[in-house]
Amino acid sequence: MKNVMWSGDLDGKIELDSIQNKSGLYGIGPQSFLTGEILINDGVSYLSKVTSDSTMSVERNFQVSAPFFVYTNVTEWKQIKLPQDIKDIKDVENFLSSMTTEQGTPFAFKLVGDISNAIIHIQNLPMGTKVSSPAEAHQGQTNYSLIDEKVEVIGFFSTKHQGVFTHHDSYLHMHLITKDLSKMGHLDEMEIANMTLFLPEGF
């Protein structure tokens, strides 16, 4: 991520269809040249792209590449009901941090259920744009507001990978997809209504 944001290293470093084991495969990252968002959810790859300020396209597509990407295989999950006082992304981060003192990192997780509202974004960098700072990298980024949606959030937690696959000020990187598969993007803000947390079995 640091190389993308500060050095303008935007071309593909991984072709998604080169990942051999797609059983229980989960992964997130931007599309090469920051022209979309990628989510692999249980072996299915989704690509979202901006079509207007208020609309997007979401398609199943493994023929894509990413300048940075985090992925893992999880075939068995355990469910944890989120406490009622966990309402936003920072609450989720703190809750996961409190559970991981002896577990080590990184790990994948899922949040499934209802959100009251959320903001997701899709990168949409104009072709040919030179990038040498996060502000330049986010030119063309389009934000979308979601209200009262059933969603699935795929996330990765690590205290050791800031600037690698999480931003410098967070231990989380998450992508959200709606249950009807019509909206997907990088998750920036979220107000939780009722969600269940899934952690890898044996965690």
Report the C-alpha gap between 26 and 116 in whole angstroms: 25
Mean pLDDT of the chain: 90
Residue 58: predicted pLDDT:
98
Report the C-alpha gap between 110 and 112 in whole angstroms: 6
33: three-class secondary structure by DSSP: helix
Judge if the upstream peptide bond of residue 134 is cis by omega within 30 degrees of 0: no
Residue 64: predicted pLDDT:
96
The boundaries of the domain holding residue 194 are 2-200
Report the C-alpha gap between 178 and 82 in whole angstroms: 19
Residue 185: predicted pLDDT:
98
pTM tops 0.75: yes
Residue 202: predicted pLDDT:
77
Give the Cα-Cα-Cα angle 102, 111, 16 (nearest 5 degrees): 90
Number of domains in the chain: 1
Q: How many residues does the chain have?
A: 203
Buried b (16+ CB within 10 A) or exposed e, 38-59: bbbbeeebbbbbbeeeeebebe
Residue 170: predicted pLDDT:
77
Give me the tens of pLDDT residue by residue for the chain, a chain 203 residues long: 777 766 777 878 889 999 999 999 999 999 989 999 999 999 999 999 999 999 999 999 999 999 989 999 999 999 998 999 999 999 999 999 887 766 667 899 999 999 999 999 999 988 888 887 777 777 889 999 999 999 999 999 987 766 666 776 778 899 999 999 999 999 999 999 999 999 998 77
CATH code of the domain containing 154? 3.30.1330.80
Report the C-alpha gap between 100 and 56 in whole angstroms: 36
User: Residue 195: how many CB atoms within 10 A of its CB?
Assistant: 21
User: Residue 85: how many CB atoms within 10 A of its CB?
Assistant: 7
